[in-house]
Amino acid sequence: MDFLISSAHAAAPAQQGGGMEFFIMIGIFFAIMYFMIIRPQTKRAKQHKALIDSLSKGDEVIVTGGLLGKIRGLDENFVTIEIANGVEVQVQRQAVTSVMPKGTMKK
């Protein structure tokens, strides 16, 4: 089997890796994960919470399902949205994804 691996390569002792290098590499990977995934996700969650807390009657909003409507009533957990003349639906506050500028809904 000497034709696949040279004798000098096969006879060389394996290098012993330092444990400190491993921990440094793990730390670097954690830092990358934090700044690329965890931090932006928490920032978006804070922005969404601020959006939900700032809802008021008359706001025109888009909900998760893509419905566009005007807020007619607010509750602690639910929002009543008018999506057409005389058609109102209730959705959870968390379902509101964005607030649109006034006048977006044309009737």
Rounded distance, CA 98 to CA 17, Å?
52
Task: Establish if 88 belongs to a structural domain.
Answer: yes
Task: Establish if 67 belongs to a structural domain.
Answer: yes
CATH number at residue 85: 2.30.30.100
- The pTM score is 0.68
- DSSP string of 32-48, one letter each residue: HHIIIIIHHHHHHHHHH
Q: 66 lies in which domain range?
A: 56-100
pLDDT tens digit string along 28-66? 999 999 999 999 999 999 999 999 999 999 999 999 989
